[in-house]
């Protein structure tokens, strides 16, 4: 028996075979991969992991693939930065940044989930992969499909900015610009996924795809010296990333790789799209869908699939979920770049701004080992900060003018 027992409904617990399925036929709840943790525990140790590849695949024993990695073999194992200067500004002595702005190959954490999804899709024998995306996911699926030699369909709303379309076209997928509202694109993709035998990464492959996010937790624990942090701050879009980071820490504890996990899992949303943060603030256990209006486009999911589970995770771990305005997001991007030399996309600005807020209100004590997840590269969303930057200092090509301009003489 391998490490994968099958799929299991998160709501009613009904078991399914490990196939390209994602919804429980009985209660319509989402399916999740069910593992044989005894089998995993019997073959992993800190030593075996340390000797593995310097990529997310060093944790292959915890990932839902049957054979070796075939797609995205260089993804993950991104730097864990000890953020002294940012910590000093915020009032934290043990702040770390998990820096997925340099993830391979498309500079966002999506390279983790897509590597796992496409490796699994190849195991299933799919020759075509697809996704619906306005940014990072499309980039990652397109790039990985190119590397894997898979046919690729990317669905986007027809009014998407041309720069974002270009970022996909370079990998030569078929980009389908759907004329209609965001909801129309969403509905069409759900229908297409049910119609064709394609690996739609965030629909019928979602149970496998989502598991790739756990590698952020594994790397966090290993890079901190085999321990769980006291606090994490995670951006929330679908809510999957936050729940999987918690799942990853608990799995490491379950198989004995780390001990005493008491991490508070905090979530971060933009005020312009905050269905989960609002539900948290109002004490609700369900999500009221919203129409997104924020510059943090990569987090703009108005009816998040895993929003309820993100809520549950934050409450279970005594974490908090906060929201920040667009101005605070831009300030967060600036602060991170100025103090740590990391240029994050808007989601990173959300994370840093919420981190700042949580520290200011006393929710994260100075001494807590805290990890903030920076999930995408700022070069992808330069427009977000374009209006808030200083200008270059123009001088004539003369040493004297230079010295006079900067009062160096």
**Site pattern 197..216 for other proteins (x: CB under 8 A):** -----xx--x----------
Least Cβ distance, residue 192 to other proteins (angstroms): 11
Quick one: 55 or 298, whose CB is closer to other proteins? 298
- Check residue 295 for interaction with other proteins (CB under 8 A): no
Distance of closest approach, residue 15 Cβ to other proteins, in angstroms: 18
Among 5, 14, 16, 23, binds other proteins (CB under 8 A): 23
Contact status, residue 290 vs residue 318, Cβ threshold 8 Å: no
Binding of residue 107 to other proteins (CB under 8 A): no
Options 22-30, 97-105, 315-323, 330-338: segment touching other proteins (CB under 8 A)? 22-30
Q: Does 237 bind other proteins (CB under 8 A)?
A: yes
Q: Measure the CA–CA gap between 270 and 328, rounded to whole angstroms.
A: 9
Report DSSP letters for 93-127, one per residue. Answer: SSEEEEEGGG-TTTSBTHHHHHHHHHHHHHHHT-S
Does residue 11 belong to the site contacting other proteins (CB under 8 A)?
A: yes
Q: Which is nearer to other proteins, 29 or 91 (CB)?
A: 29
State how far the Cα of 377 lies from the Cα of 344, in Å rounded to an integer.
Answer: 5
Distance CA 195, CA 185 (A): 15
Contact 103, 78 (CB under 8 A): yes
Q: For residue 239, give both structure tokens.
A: 């809510």
Residue 136 in contact with other proteins, rule: CB under 8 A: yes
Q: In terms of CB distance, is 67 or 197 closer to other proteins?
A: 197
Residue from 124, 182, 226, 402 in contact with other proteins (CB under 8 A)? 182
Structural contact between residues 243 and 304, judged by C-beta atoms closer than 8 angstroms: no
Q: Rounded to an integer, what distance in angstroms lies between the CA atom of residue 129 and that of residue 117? A: 9
How far apart are alpha carbons 267 and 20 in whole angstroms? 29
Nearer to other proteins, 268 or 301 (CB): 301
Q: Which of 119, 238, 317, 381 binds other proteins (CB under 8 A)?
A: 238
Residue number with CB closer to other proteins (147 or 303): 303
Residue 261 to residues 258, 318, 346: CA-CA distances in angstroms?
A: 7, 13, 30
Structure tokens at 272: 């312009």
Residue 173: Cβ-neighbour burial (10 angstroms; 0-12, 13-18, 19+): buried
Binding site for other proteins (CB under 8 A): 11, 22-23, 26-29, 110, 131-134, 136-137, 155, 157, 182-183, 185-187, 189-190, 202-203, 206, 237-238, 286, 288-289, 301-305, 307
């Amino acid at each position: 028996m391998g490490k994968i027992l099958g799929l299991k409904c998160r709501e009613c617990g009904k078991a399914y075979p490990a196939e390209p399925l994602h919804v429980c036929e009985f209660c319509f709840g989402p399916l999740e991969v069910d593992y044989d943790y005894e089998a995993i525990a019997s073959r992993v140790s800190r030593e075996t992991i340390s000797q593995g590849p310097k990529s997310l695949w060093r944790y292959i024993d915890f990932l839902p693939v049957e054979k070796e990695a075939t797609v995205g073999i260089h993804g993950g194992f991104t730097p864990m930065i000890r953020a002294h200067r940012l910590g000093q500004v915020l009032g934290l002595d043990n702040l770390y940044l998990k820096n997925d702005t340099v993830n391979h190959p498309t500079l966002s954490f999506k390279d983790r989930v897509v590597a796992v999804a496409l490796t699994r899709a190849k195991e299933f024998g799919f020759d075509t992969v697809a996704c619906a995306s306005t940014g990072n996911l499309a980039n990652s699926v397109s790039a990985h499909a190119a590397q894997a030699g898979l046919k690729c369909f990317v669905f986007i709303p027809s009014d998407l900015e041309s720069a974002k379309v270009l970022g996909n076209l370079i990998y030569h997928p078929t980009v389908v610009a759907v004329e209609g509202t965001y909801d129309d694109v969403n509905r069409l993709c759900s229908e297409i996924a049910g119609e064709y035998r394609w690996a739609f990464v965030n629909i019928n492959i979602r149970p496998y795809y989502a598991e790739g996010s756990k590698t952020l937790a594994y790397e966090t624990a290993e890079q901190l010296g085999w321990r769980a942090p006291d606090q994490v701050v995670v951006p929330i879009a679908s809510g999957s990333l936050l729940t999987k980071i918690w799942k990853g820490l608990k799995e490491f504890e379950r198989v004995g790789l780390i001990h005493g996990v008491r991490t508070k899992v905090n979530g971060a949303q933009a005020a312009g799209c905050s269905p989960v943060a609002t539900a948290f603030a109002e004490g609700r256990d369900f999500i009221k869908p919203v129409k997104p209006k924020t510059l943090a486009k990569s987090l703009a999911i108005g009816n998040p699939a895993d929003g309820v589970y993100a809520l549950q995770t934050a409450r279970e771990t005594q974490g908090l979920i906060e929201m920040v305005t667009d101005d605070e997001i831009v300030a967060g991007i600036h602060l991170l770049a100025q103090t740590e030399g990391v240029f994050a996309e808007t989601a990173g600005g959300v994370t840093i701004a919420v981190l700042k807020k949580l520290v200011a209100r006393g929710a994260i004590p100075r001494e807590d080992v805290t990890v903030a997840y920076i999930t995408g590269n700022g070069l992808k969303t330069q427009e977000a900060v374009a209006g808030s930057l200083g200008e270059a200092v123009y001088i004539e090509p003369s040493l004297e003018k230079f010295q006079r301009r900067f009062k160096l003489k």
